Structure 1
Amino acid sequence: MDGYCLFSCSQDNSARCWISHENHLEEIFMHSNFPELRESADLSELSDRCYGLTLAPGEQMIAVVRSLDLNLLNQMYQVRTQKAVVEFIWIGGQFVGIPLDRSIDICSSQSTDLSSSNLMWWGSNILWSLKKYENVEKRLVIWDVVAVLQELKKSAPAFLETLVHSWVSVLLSGDPQCVSIDAPSRSMHDMMPYVSTRKLHLLNIMCRKVMVSIHTHHGPGAENGNEETTDFWSTLLVRSETELRERLVGFTFAAVLKRTAYLFNGTSTENCWFPVGVAQMDSWVTMNYDGQVHDQLQSIRSKIKDLGSRIDGYSDVESCPYCSSPVHFESPDVAICGERHTLPRCRASMILCSVVQPLWHCVCCGGTVNKLLPESFFTMQASTMHDEGSLDLSAASVPLCPFCGILLQRSMPAFLLSTSPA
């Protein structure tokens, strides 16, 4: 566990946890801290033998593959079909070698199931894990962290609100006192351009999968589920996605200008990423031009307007694939033709998605991607987002969501999945 903790499957076939203390190893007892998860598992048929173990990406849980006690299984059916089970052990609520973060505020008893000590360790380990994901070299796979936070929203919602709010404050400004729920949304928006793309991806995931859903789940009468708090997280999500969309548009415009410069200088563009949807993005900037987009984006957009139709693939003419009626650009996410057919737009390029080709789908935001972005988009800092001179268009395209940063999944057209297509 990043040098803090060692998990092993020893010769006696048992899973063990060790930490280094001075010049020797000390064993730590492993146990889950969530009573609901622990009590729902029936472990009566398990033996002590362990086939192996692995650590979850966010390092809040380990999965142990255990054998079954053959004497307790049905000899005719279960013995032949059941060979082993996977046991999930949540380890974030205990000491695993990571220093305790004593800045976490626990002002009162938060849960009847979790002690203050458990909450402190959960908070410290979660913040430590999220901090590691700010490094763009680490793939954004945090399903175990999200699962822990979703469980905390049931058992300790007030603690969760305090913990995530503290994390967001540091994420946006580096100062825990800088961002407050009472702070104007405009001041939060002003901080967004100075935050890295990876941090905005983390913020989007936390807002969408944890904080916004927490208030929807508990309703307006729940603890900390008042309208003001709900509006805070919803507004934060909208601001973050708007900032990412501006960066995406700026990145595409800058790529067009760089490719144009290559062609002017006689440089080959064979291995360079080819931007699409320039006309649609230009329409989006026009819709949000009056003080709603950054000055940098307005400046680079003026250069795109000068090139106009000389840009390869520049076209704002779109038609419905079902009825061929014209489709006008009204939203970057969805389009409706004259015959009222609803058509998804690519989250990365704003063009209409294909209805016959396999698409990419994000399980976090639900968006659809038709045109993949190069890896350089996900690793760039905000300060260089609209600088075409620093773009790396030779980077390979990667199946990552431009708004969440997680791996996309392939989705097939519905008629290809039907057993009896019409």
Structure 2
Amino acid sequence: MIAVVRSLDPNMLDQMYQARTQKAVVEFIWIGGQFLGIPLNKDIYISNKQSAKSSETNFLWWGSNILWSLKNYEKCETGLVLWDVIAALQVLMKSAPAFLETLMHKWVTDLFSDDQQRVSIDALCQCRKDMMSNVSSRKLHLLNIICRKVMLRDPAGENGNSTSTDLWSSLLLSSERELRERLVAFTFAAVLNRKSYFLKGTCAENMWFPVGVAQMRSWVSMNSGGVHNQLRSLSSTIKRLGSRINSVCEYSAKETCAYCSAPVHFESPDIALCGSVDPTIVPTERHKLSRCAASMRLCSVLEPTWYCVCCGGMVDKLVPETYFTMKTSPLLNAADPDVELSLYSAPAVPRCPFCGILLQRLMPEFLLSVSPV
């Protein structure tokens, strides 16, 4: 990585708002094509058409460095700050789309492979559920970022390919579905964990307090045919708590519109429309509201919420850090009680549950504008 400081023309700056603070900008240049002391990955296939535009060795260095960088991000202790890699991949999408497709096929097959089993691109096309359940949440976050910011960034553009778009769209949908199931399972398990501590008379003040449990149960009910059997079982266990559930979590099935006080029915985990679900009502007569990506409940309109610059999701309730470090789906194996305590006692962090990156505070546009009006 090279950083270049470039001065700005003072005549091009707004003298009232910019001239006092913006004197220069820093440009970062990715040098992935140069030798950085890492092993050359010769498994990357370079076609004759690609090597005609640039040397085969140069393509191999680019590919090796990018794969090495993405591999390092699979470690949970490494923060997901991918803007330099994303910028390089976006340039390759325009200048060498065939090479990028080959490179990303190798990366995604390596992502789901291990020492015992090698996954093929044909297996990925089927997007088997067990394949998604057996990888870490960090890998799924990486996959979502690459899909959204690179492979599906401009599916209808000049470099678009319907077959490739279908593959990456399918991977994105399967990955997000898996992460949503993990999030719901994590929340349900937190509720039951708090209940067990209350029954023992043990203090649970330091444990994460789940919200949106009613909305999550509605989502499981709406998708009962496609979710994990264990998730349906957890939902049934939550239902049997009855009135006791209010002591261990926030459980409110009834929601109202913040603008007109009309009832809001659960129809989607992402957005909501107030008023009746009667199809005869014109949609424009209903307020469109955002749901929290982490809890599925309605986001507050009075307080600033968190916002993901990758997927565009809104987050009103932060999730514990341990959710982002899962090695596999929590629905595969029962957790040890001592381990569960550490899971739900971890501090909540401002990170997107579907992308893993740091969230930003969503502020009104007029607060971000240089215009005084």
Give TM class, smaller chain: 0.7 to 0.9
Partners of 2:193 and 2:80 in 1: how far apart?
A: 29
1:398 to 327, 349, 361: 349
Q: What is the rounded CA distance, in whole Å, between the counterparts of 1:258 and 1:167 in structure 2?
A: 38
CA contact (8 A) 1:320 1:326 kept: yes
For normalisation by structure 2, the TM-score amounts to: 0.85
Shift of 1:171: 0.6
Post-superposition Cα deviations, 1:285-313, rounded to whole Å, max 9, x if no partner, equal 000001x0012212222211111342122
Task: Name the CA distance, whole Å, in 2 between partners of 1:62 and 1:415.
Answer: 35
Quick check: 2:211–2:295 contact (8 Å CA) kept in 1? yes
SS in 2 for 1:137: coil
Q: 1: distance between equivalents of 2:270 and 2:237? A: 25
Percent identity of paired positions between Structure 1 and Structure 2: 64
2:200 matches 1:265: yes
Q: Does 1:125 align with 2:125?
A: no
Q: Is 1:151 matched up with 2:91?
A: yes
1:173 aligns with 2:145: no
* 1:153 and 1:214 in contact (8 A); partners too: no
Post-superposition offset of 1:412: 2.2
CA RMSD across the alignment = 2.8
Indicate the SS of the match to 2:361.
strand
Q: Does the 8 A contact of 2:127 with 2:171 survive in 1?
A: no
Name the SS for the 1:347 alignment partner.
Answer: coil
| Matching residue of 2:162 | 227
User: What code does the residue aligned with 1:277 have?
Assistant: G
Once the two structures are superposed, residues 179-203 of structure 1 have per-residue CA deviations (whole angstroms, 9 ceiling, x without a partner) of 32x4475443330000100000000
Q: Distance between the aligned counterparts of 1:297 and 1:383, measured in 2? A: 11
Match of residue 300, structure 2, among 345, 351, 354: 354
The one-character-per-residue Cα deviations of 1:233-258 (angstroms, maximum 9, x if unpaired) are 10110000000000000000000000
**Which is higher, the Rg of structure 1 or of structure 2?**
1
1:56-107 per-residue CA deviation (whole Å, 9 max, x = no partner) reads: xxxxx23144799xxxxxxxxxxx9997663533211011111100101102
Tell me the SS of whatever aligns to 1:110. Answer: helix
Distance 2:120 2:286 in 1: 43
How far apart in 1 are the matches of 2:75 and 2:22? 41
Other-structure match for 1:377: 323
Aligned residues: 345
Give, in whole Å, the separation in 1 of the partners of 2:25 and 2:220: 53
Determine the structure 1 residue equivalent to 2:179.
244
Counterpart contact for 1:136–1:198, Cα < 8 Å = yes
Map residues 82-97 of structure 1 onto 2, 5 A cutoff: 86-97=26-37
Distance 1:184 1:64, change over 3 A: closer
Structure 2: how far apart are the matches of 1:125 and 1:252? 38
Post-superposition Cα deviations, 1:316-341, rounded to whole Å, max 9, x if no partner, equal 10000000000000000000011410
Structure 1 position 139 matched with structure 2 position 79: yes
Structure 1: runs of 5+ lacking an equivalent:
1-60, 69-79
Judging by fraction of residues, say which structure has more helix.
2
The answer to whether 1:302 aligns with 2:236 is yes
Deviation at residue 355 of structure 1 after TM alignment: 0.4
Q: Which has the higher strand share?
A: 1
Question: Could you say what secondary structure the match of 1:335 adopts?
Answer: strand
2:141 is the counterpart of 1:201: yes
Return the match for 2:257 from 315, 320, 327: 320
